[in-house]
């Protein structure tokens, strides 16, 4: 994950949890075992996937200890298409860490009272305090994404949000919050396969909502709005984007 300081610049890797760059410098030489098989872009076997995931879980535990020790405040936003893997990614991140440190926020549709409030007001109570990592499964960017695409807000309201959100996020960063934003992309073919699997699998049917089917019909509209958001002059930079139709692949 990329880390940003209060001015929005990427933090140096040397500030990472318990890492000595000289000591931990990777050894050179030919790859062996699973490392050779799982080259960049190659799909991992279940065994190799679990092995790599275990290593990442260890690093996340180190990150957790670092966040607590330094009193850091970390806020992570996951946005993207339905079926792009937001839930699975968040589950993988939080599987082996403490729920007292890593909190996942997935807010339901706003109540009538919340609709009468300032738009971002209902997100404020969930922002992290010292020693916490808060993960938003969708966030205030709903206003420029889902709500805009589905007609739940006017174009004027969406444009107003895009003008205000840089200032809102500047306040977050200046208060010491490390803000990370990710957009998960998926191809139309893979999204179709994943949504169909939710229909066919009784264990996943709860993941499918009428809203998923409506947004599926508006495939070409969603990325245009996501691109506009990523180009806004936000204090700490645009969101990171993860593309790819398949999971369990080794990154290059």
Residues 137 and 184 sit within 8 Å (Cβ to Cβ): no
Residue 88 is inside which H or E element, if any?
Answer: helix 86-94
Total residue length of the chain: 252
Confidence of residue 249 (pLDDT cuts 50, 70, 90): low
Confidence of residue 57 (pLDDT cuts 50, 70, 90): very high
Query: By three-state DSSP, how is residue 39 classified?
Result: coil
Chain position carrying tokens 């937001």: 86
Q: What is the mean pLDDT of residues 194-204?
A: 73
Q: What single-letter DSSP state applies at residue 49?
A: H
Give the model's pLDDT for residue 197.
Answer: 72
Other C-beta atoms closer than 10 Å to the C-beta of 158 total: 19
In the CATH scheme, what is the code of domain 38-242? Answer: 3.40.50.300
Weakest mean pLDDT among 35-39, 89-93, 96-100, 218-222: 35-39
Residues 246 and 84 sit within 8 Å (Cβ to Cβ): no
Give the model's pLDDT for residue 38.
Answer: 41
Using alpha carbons, select from 86, 82, 80 the residue that is nearest to residue 210: 82
Which of the two residues, 203 and 12, has the higher pLDDT score? Answer: 203
Mean pLDDT of the chain: 76
Q: List Cα–Cα distances, 245 to 2, 43, 87, 110, 116, in angstroms.
A: 23, 11, 15, 31, 39
Q: What is the pTM of this model?
A: 0.70
Using alpha carbons, select from 216, 145, 228 the residue that is nearest to residue 186: 216
């Amino acid at each position: 994950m990329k880390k940003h300081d209060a001015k929005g610049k990427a933090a140096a890797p040397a500030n990472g949890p318990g890492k000595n760059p000289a000591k931990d410098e990777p050894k050179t030489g030919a790859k062996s075992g699973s490392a050779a098989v799982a080259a960049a872009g190659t799909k991992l076997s279940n065994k190799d996937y679990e092995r790599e995931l275990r290593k990442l879980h260890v690093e996340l535990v180190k990150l957790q200890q670092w966040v607590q020790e330094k009193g850091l405040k970390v806020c992570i936003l996951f946005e993207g298409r339905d079926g792009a893997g937001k839930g699975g990614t968040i589950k993988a991140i939080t599987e082996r860490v403490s729920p007292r440190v890593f909190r996942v926020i997935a807010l339901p549709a706003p109540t009538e009272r919340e609709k009468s409030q300032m738009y971002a007001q209902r997100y404020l109570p969930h922002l992290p305090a010292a020693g916490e990592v808060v993960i938003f499964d969708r966030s205030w960017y709903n206003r420029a994404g889902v709500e805009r695409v589905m007609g739940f807000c006017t174009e004027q309201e969406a444009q107003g949000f895009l003008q205000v959100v840089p200032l809102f996020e500047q306040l977050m960063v200046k208060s010491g919050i490390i803000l990370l934003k990710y957009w998960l992309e998926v191809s139309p073919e893979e999204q179709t396969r994943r949504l169909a699997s939710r229909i066919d699998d009784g264990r996943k049917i709860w993941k499918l909502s009428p809203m998923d089917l409506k947004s599926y019909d508006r495939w070409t509209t969603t990325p245009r709005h996501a691109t506009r958001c990523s180009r806004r002059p936000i204090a700490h930079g645009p969101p990171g984007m993860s593309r790819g139709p398949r999971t369990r692949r080794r990154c290059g």
